[in-house]
Structure 1
Amino acid sequence: MSGIVRWGVLATGGIAASFTAELRAMPDAEVVAVASRTEASAKAFADRFGIARAYGDWASLAADEDVDVVYVATPHSAHRAAAGLCLEAGKAVLCEKAFTLNTREADELVSLSRERELFLMEAMWMYCNPLVRRLAALVGDGAIGEVRTVQADFGLAGPFAPDHRLRDPALGGGALLDLGVYPVSFAQLLLGEPDRIQADALLSPEGVDLNTGMLLGWSQSGATALLSCSVTAGTPVTASVTGTAGRIDLPQGFFFPDRFVLHREGGHEPEEFTAEGRRDSLRHEAAEVMRCLRAGETESPLVPLDGSLAVMRTLDAVRDRIGVRYPSERVTQA
């Protein structure tokens, strides 16, 4: 593949709009089609962004021969169905985070993409951010010694009404999959998959987590991560990584930072690293997808599928500890 990459957008919510706006600003990308569950919603989105074709069903988008890659921006509960439909139709897929509702669904998508030799990537835009990549490289090079602790939080004050999607179990609601995926992904970017997981949470009457704390542990290194997420409290949304020889602090909005500060032990002055150009990582994410497609790669080295599966296993374990199970899971096990 060379030249302009032609995108299809599946869903018409807020994140779909933000991503489409970024694609329209990129000279090597074109959004050629959009799909929603209703033709009216798809048409309104198409009119808003000047998109040529609007479909009132997902299958028509998946079958569109002019689409090179589909961006799936549905709620978590529909990721498996939407991404699977597109992969079955031979389309490359960028699927929003959390990747799916659970590890079983994620395994199915990854297996399908590998069987069909099709590109698939979780839309973990944080991993594509140049400054986050710089931080990970510094940690990997031993700039702060051996990592001992990671701390990260992501909380929104709300309040969210009972009928909001964040309170709806059928849509994979709760703080964990929407917000907690960022702290967990940040910790696992630096430390890999934990082998000890503890968690506690405040649950809503509907049965989703409103406020969740996690303690992850790595037996071999002795590292720990203290993480939290909330849809009832506006937290600082910061992160820090501490090692045997220093610390790195990320300010508010740690998952798309404009700067971070490296503190080295031994009397060194703090070092500030700042972003060049735009802070928004959605464009970096899109650029990585298109780079992979042009190179014939079926997964991104920045957002590897095995890493996405590892994060899903951690999220599953946290939900097991706090007692959150979604309706589709109960039906599957019945």
Structure 2
Amino acid sequence: MKKIRWGILGTGTIAHKFASDLKFVENAELVAVGSRSLENAKNFADEFGVPSSFGSYEEFAESDEIDIVYIATPNNLHHPNTLLCLNNGKAVLCEKPFALNENQALEMINLARKKNLFLMDALWTKFLPHYQKMIEIVKGGSLGDIKVVLANFGFRANVEPNSRLLNPELGGGSLMDIGIYNIFTTLDILGKPDEINVSINSTEQGIDEQCAVIFKYNSGAMASLFSSISANLSTDVEICGTLGRLKLTTPFYDSTSVLEHYFDGEKQVIKTEKEEGLGYQYEARNATNCLLNGITESSVVPHSDSILLMQTLDQIRSLAGIVFPIEQDSHLNRNA
């Protein structure tokens, strides 16, 4: 079977993690890396044995060697980088957040559909075995009616004031960086909320250092979601129903998490498969198989999921008063 040729755009921490796991994906090979710095690209290529390195995003996107691009650049570049790659005929797996707002996401998805190219939001957690098992249990009804979801994700970020995490120009803040995990997990469990309440601690730069979100549903269900880049949180998820409770242990978003099922005072640990690696190979395998089979939209993270997630993040930011500088441009403003 032919091999799908991957390129990685960006050379930061997440790019390193993805590259290290790509070797576990059958019928996939890493053939190119791109950066705004040729030196960084070459260093990355040397580390992972990548044949081609490019010192500009444009040269990278124009290369005929690449079938699909993993975009691992800062948040504010996900939209323009995705459009660049799609316009050059490349399939795209774009790191979260998929875009800065719904309008950007729709432009990306519409272009992919127009060009009949694969495009997926890189919500890697959704592909992990424990997360897939969680969805199966929730949908199976053994927990009864879900009444409460509690999700926390936080760490103390000892970073400079102009770092990516704190820079509104780069789409920073706890919500977009880590709170997004709480949001998409709850959307998978309970669906679109009927009411949202938000409270934040804002930094001098105008982004959220801590973000507390409450989802309310007409069914009577509620979700409490908290993200922080100033304190270490438990970083777990509890799903509480009328018949039982399910916990995704710390850290709930990665492959080391396990499921604990509580029923009638008894705890059962539900085991799921554990592959070697960090867990990024699951999303890469799904994308690779989609390309091999001529599929342009993943069933695990369909475009509708990405749109709902961006709509929800937009609503939360609107309630919190978080506006990114790029959104002052009317073309990109989420309310335009």
Decide: shared fold, TM above 0.5.
Answer: yes
C-alpha distance in 2 between matches for 1:113 and 1:196: 32
C-alpha distance in 2 between matches for 1:25 and 1:293: 17
Alignment map for 1:174-193 (pairs within 5 Å): 174-193=173-192
Match 2:328 to one of 317, 325, 330: 330
C-alpha distance in 2 between matches for 1:306 and 1:56: 34
Q: AA paired with 2:321?
A: G
Which residue number in structure 2 is paired with residue 108 of structure 1?
107
Which residue number in structure 2 is paired with residue 247 of structure 1?
245
Alignment map for 1:195-274 (pairs within 5 Å): 195-219=194-218, 221-256=219-254, 257-264=256-263, 267=264, 269-274=266-271
Structure 1 residue 268: deviation in Å?
6.8
- Aligned partners of 2:250 and 2:257 also within 8 Å: no
Structure 1 residue 222: deviation in Å?
2.2
Output one character per residue of 1:252-311: Cα deviation in whole Å (capped at 9) or x when no partner: 1111243111123xx373221123223732011111111111121111111111101111
2:287 aligned counterpart, secondary structure: helix
C-alpha distance in 2 between matches for 1:86 and 1:201: 35
Whether 1:308 and 2:314 are equivalent positions in the alignment is no
Output one character per residue of 1:84-105: Cα deviation in whole Å (capped at 9) or x when no partner: 1111111110000011111110
- Aligned partners of 1:7 and 1:31 also within 8 Å: yes
Number of corresponding residues: 330
Output one character per residue of 1:165-186: Cα deviation in whole Å (capped at 9) or x when no partner: 1111100011010000000011
Q: AA paired with 2:210?
A: N
Residue identity (%)? 36
C-alpha distance in 1 between matches for 2:111 and 2:193: 26
Unpaired segments ≥5 residues, structure 1: none
| RMSD of aligned Cα (Å) | 1.5
1:222 aligned counterpart, secondary structure: coil
Structure 1 residue 50: deviation in Å?
1.1
Q: AA paired with 1:283?
A: Q
Which residue number in structure 1 is paired with residue 159 of structure 2?
160
Which residue number in structure 2 is paired with residue 148 of structure 1?
147
Q: TM-score, normalised by structure 1?
A: 0.95
Q: AA paired with 1:65?
A: D
C-alpha distance in 1 between matches for 2:229 and 2:265: 39
C-alpha distance in 2 between matches for 1:164 and 1:258: 29
Which residue number in structure 1 is paired with residue 315 of structure 2?
317
C-alpha distance in 2 between matches for 1:320 and 1:299: 29
Output one character per residue of 1:57-105: Cα deviation in whole Å (capped at 9) or x when no partner: 1122222222110000011100000011111111110000011111110
Name whichever of 39-48 and 138-147 sits farther off.
39-48
C-alpha distance in 1 between matches for 2:313 and 2:48: 35
Q: TM-score, normalised by structure 2?
A: 0.95
Structure 1 residue 27: deviation in Å?
4.4
C-alpha distance in 2 between matches for 1:19 and 1:39: 20
- Aligned partners of 1:154 and 1:179 also within 8 Å: yes
Which residue number in structure 2 is paired with residue 123 of structure 1?
122
C-alpha distance in 2 between matches for 1:295 and 1:174: 38
C-alpha distance in 1 between matches for 2:5 and 2:268: 41
- Aligned partners of 1:35 and 1:55 also within 8 Å: yes
Unpaired segments ≥5 residues, structure 2: none
- Aligned partners of 1:258 and 1:275 also within 8 Å: no
